[in-house]
Amino acid sequence: MELDAVLMVARRGKFRTAALELGVSTTALSNAVGKLERTLGIRLFNRTTRSVSLTEAGQQFVAQVAPAVQDIHEAMDVARSQQATPSGTLRINAFPTAAREIFSWLVLPFLREHPLVHIDIVTEGRLVDIVAGGFDLGVRSADLVPVDMIALPLGSGRRNVVVGSPRYLETHGTPIVPQDLAEHSCLRVRLPDGAIYRWPFEKDGQSVHIDVDGAITLDEASLARAGALASVGLTLAMESDVRDDIGAGRLVRVLEDWTPTLSPLSLYYPSRRNPTAAFKAFVDFARRHSGGSEALTPSIGREAR
């Protein structure tokens, strides 16, 4: 634990980020680093309220220890790959929308079939390096998968939809073209980099991005859905997130002919010499239930969260 803790803090530069990626509390991580420092009798990190950096002794220690720790993890992977029954933890990084889409049809059925496996899902709106972050697998839009990864397509294309409650539309009218949104209250979404997401539309080869306005700005899709249900305004959502609301009549789809199909999701991962039994079982399960096949996929484009 102590060596992994030091290497992750050195890699990420922040205790909080390192703790999240290791799946432990910041306090536990700090205690692990402190314990190793006391054992060694040296300070490995310079700590301030704003930053963490390796000391000179810490740099030398990490340079010597990192290859050995990597060898240890590889040896453990080799041992785990010999397991007859899949067990252990799989760490998956995904966009929030992607995690919601695969949760019911992939993750839960897999766990019912393999009860000894633990799945740790980390959702982030930003793109991350799953190898550097210590993840086994990633789930992203197919056009965002790095070119050096093995990708397994999951299902068909998806869509963003613009929806509003019947009461809101009765009061404020129905937009016919994207430019009509200027006359409506919309639930704005903030991206991880702080920028406000511009709603994308496309029809007959014409594309337009609208900088919508409204009373509320959010960074969580479920809150935008709640706002739309409360008749606060229109929201742009993944169709899978509001399909039940549309079916029940709680939300109504508008601008249908302007919402394009998005790239399908892909499960992706780096080439591994000794995949664990749990890893192999999950990929095989995903392949059987998605009907996809492995392919290398280019890294371009952007998906709404």
Domain edges within the chain: 2-81, 88-156+265-290, 158-262
In percent, the amount of the chain with pLDDT more than 70 equals 92
Please, what CATH class does the domain formed by 88-156+265-290 belong to?
Answer: alpha beta
Q: Tell me the β-bridge partners of 87.
A: none
Nearest residue to 199 via CA among 172, 226, 222, 180: 180
Locate 18 and state its tokens: 């390192």
Per-residue pLDDT, 131: 87
The CATH architecture one would assign to domain 2-81 is: Orthogonal Bundle (1.10)
- Show Cβ contacts of residue 65 under 8 Å, excluding neighbours closer than 6 positions: 3, 6, 7
- Using the Cα atoms of residue 171, residue 172, residue 175 and residue 178 in order, give the sign of their dihedral: negative
Nearest residue to 149 via CA among 299, 304, 290, 301: 299
Number of neighbours of residue 98 by Cβ within 10 angstroms = 26
Please, what CATH class does the domain formed by 158-262 belong to?
Answer: alpha beta
Per-residue pLDDT, 293: 38
The string of pLDDT tens digits covering residues 4-61 is 888 888 888 888 878 877 778 888 888 888 888 899 899 998 887 777 889 989 889 9
Instruction: Say whether pLDDT at 90 is over 60.
Output: yes
Q: Give one DSSP letter per residue of 114-143, joined into a string.
A: -TTEEEEEEE-SS---TTTTT-SEEEEETT
Distances (CA, A) of 34 to 165, 209, 238: 54, 50, 44
Nearest residue to 101 via CA among 140, 66, 49, 62: 140
Mean pLDDT of 67-74: 81
- pLDDT: which is higher, 60 or 294: 60
**What b/e sequence results for 123-139 when a residue is b if at least 16 CB atoms lie within 10 Å of its CB, and e otherwise?**
eebebeebeebbbbbbb
Locate 229 and state its tokens: 């249900």
Locate 32 and state its tokens: 């692990």
- Domains 2-81 and 88-156+265-290 alike in fold: no
Per-residue pLDDT, 80: 63
Per-residue pLDDT, 158: 86
pTM to 2 decimals? 0.66
